[in-house]
Structure 1
Amino acid sequence: MKFIIVGLGNFGAYLAARLTDNGHEVIGIDSDMAKVDSAKEKITHTICLNATDKNVVRNLPVSDTDVVLIAIGEDMGASIMATAVFKELKAKRIISRAITNTHETVIRAIGVDEIIHPEEETAERLSKKLEMKGVIDSFDISDGYNIVEVTAPKEFVGKTIGETAVRNRFNVNILTIIKMRNRPNIFGNMQERQKVLGVVSAQTMIEDKDVLVLFGEMNDIQKILDLNEE
């Protein structure tokens, strides 16, 4: 896929680098040359330009880009203006970062429905990790449903997914299992690494130190976490 990331602060630069690492073509844009220089070795293309200037932005391959992400966080005015410019140039898909409620209201008024709050989302995931013992990571879906990574309860170890009867007992599905394996790194030292099993079945065995990726409501998932307290 092709992406244009506007704003190469910490969030924008990291996202652009990750997308590049995953094989996508990314154009990273910022009006600050220092930020452009800092990111140029990690991103497919970097350009120093003012994304609020329609005459300049129209020279970008907007029509050939799958996603434009406005990642500007420090300057709300610049974020709103850049969003409006790409909207006017009929970008296929625009995702904008919002810092405040007012910021989000204005962006929605422009006609952008995909709005992200990276700081809030990170804080929410971290809060679950801190307050719920056994939670490794979590992702809110909607209406109280979450995808949560948890350490396999001792009661599940040595059993197949079918034998745990997790769906009938807790109304929770195990989407996949992450296996933790010690493997040598490039220096020959043993390092713990993850291996995702992919699609699992009722016959998949749960082992010690496995990480279960669960889907369900948080109050039901909490019942599984409580097993380690018994």
Structure 2
Amino acid sequence: MKYIVIGLGVFGSSISEKLAEMGNEVIGVDISMSKVDAIKEKITHAISLDATDPEAVKNLPLKDCDVVIVGIGEDKGANIMVAALMKQMKVKRLISRAVDPLQRTVLETMGIDEIIHPESETADRWAQRLNMEGIVDSFELDSNYSIVETRIPEAYHEKTIKELGIKEEFDILILTTMKVSNTRSEMGIDKEKMKVKGIAKADTVLHKDEIMVLYGHNKDIRRLLEEHKKFKEQV
């Protein structure tokens, strides 16, 4: 996977290093040369430029990038300007940092629905989530085992957990499932609301586009998600 992380403060540099350690290609961007120099040996590339400048941003390989992360924290105005610019340039996947509720509201109004809150969500957790494609959310129990949320694929629709044999084939437990519904905030922003359906059992029937919560070894979860990806590409 290829990532561009804009803003190399404590959070941006930390998530850049974690993603690079996981074998990803990571380009770090910051207006501060000292921050670029501090990380250039730890990631694929580190570039000093003003990401609020549309002409400067054209030098970044945005079309070849899978995920752009706007990690700017202190300067809220720059954060919003960069996020708007990335949205305008139609990057494949955009994730932005927010440090307070108002900033989050502004980003959501701009149509950015993947928002990081570093104060409550660690770089480790986001790196783990980003490193395994198909994850809605995750919680790393240790370096090997995680609990992750992922959307139920069409191949599992109206089949029971027993029928699918995920435990036998992948050594992964389905802990529960969640129903997803769309709600609208007071500002007219569409958001997803999840409702837990209870502890999953062998006769629990799965439904496409709902969420299943998995527990297992990271390598086994990654293997299962790769199967989901292959099926999706074949359809």
Give yes or no for TM over 0.5.
yes
Tell me, in whole angstroms, the C-alpha distance in 1 between the residues paired with 2:5 and 2:219. 32
Percent of aligned pairs with the same amino acid: 49
Please name the residue that 1:44 is paired with.
44
Q: Which residue of 2 aligns with 1:176?
A: 216
Distance 1:139 1:121 in 2: 15
Equivalents in 1 of 2:147, 2:105: separation in Å?
24
* Separation in structure 2 between the aligned mates of residue 37 and residue 58 of structure 1, nearest angstrom: 22
Question: For residues 62-77 of structure 1, what are the structure 2 equivalents within 5 Å?
Answer: 62-77=62-77
CA distance 1:198–1:94, change in 2 (3 Å): closer
* Deviation of 1:86 (Å): 0.9
Q: Shift of the alpha carbon at 1:176?
A: 3.4
| Alignment-derived partner of residue 119 in structure 1 | 119
Contact 1:69 1:95 in 2 (8 A): yes
1:175: how far off? 2.7
Q: Distance in 1 between matches of 2:36 and 2:44?
A: 12
Where does the alignment leave 5 or more consecutive residues of structure 2 unmatched?
Answer: 126-140, 151-174, 176-197, 202-213, 222-235
User: Matches of residues 14-29 of structure 1 in structure 2 within 5 Å?
Assistant: 14-29=14-29
> Does the CA contact (< 8 Å) of 2:2 and 2:25 recur in 1?
yes
In the alignment, what sits opposite 1:190? none
- Give the secondary-structure state (helix, strand or coil) at the position aligned to 2:74: coil
The residue type paired with residue 92 of structure 1 is K
The two structures have a TM-score, normalised by structure 1, of 0.56
Cα 1:139–1:104 change in 2 (3 A) is farther
Q: Relative to 1, partners in 2 of residues 1:53 and 1:121: Cα closer, same or farther, differing over 3 Å?
A: same
Output the amino acid matched with 1:68: V
Match in the other structure for 1:94: 94
CA–CA distance in structure 2, aligned partners of residues 34 and 89 of structure 1: 28
Residues 197 and 28 of structure 1: CA distance in aligned 2, closer, same or farther (over 3 Å): closer
Paired with 2:15 and 2:67, the residues of 1 have a C-alpha distance of: 13
Change (3 A) 1:111 1:198: closer
Q: Distance in 1 between matches of 2:86 and 2:95?
A: 10
Q: 1:197 to 1:97 in 2, by over 3 A?
A: closer
C-alpha separation in 2, matches of 1:43 and 1:198: 27
Gap regions ≥5 residues in structure 1: 126-135, 143-166, 178-195, 200-230
Match of 1:25, as an amino acid? E
Q: Distance in 2 between matches of 1:141 and 1:72?
A: 27
* Structure label with greater radius of gyration: 1
Q: Measured at CA, do residues 171 and 111 of structure 1 come closer, stay the same or move farther in structure 2, by a change above 3 Å? A: closer
Give the TM-score normalised by structure 2: 0.54
Which ranges of 4 or more aligned residues in structure 1 deviate by more than 2 Å? 136-142, 170-177, 196-199
SS at match of 1:121: coil
Instruction: Summarize deviations over 1:166-222 as a string: whole Å, max 9, x none.
Output: x8xx94798337xxxxxxxxxxxxxxxxxx7958xxxxxxxxxxxxxxxxxxxxxxx
1:78-117 Cα shifts (integer Å, max 9, x gaps): 1000101111111111000110111111111222111111
- Residue pair 2:148, 2:215 contacting (<8 A) in 1 also: no
- Partner AA of 2:57 in structure 1: V
Does the 8 Å contact 1:2/1:25 carry over to 2? yes
Contact kept, 8 Å, 1:87 with 1:94, in 2: the verdict is yes
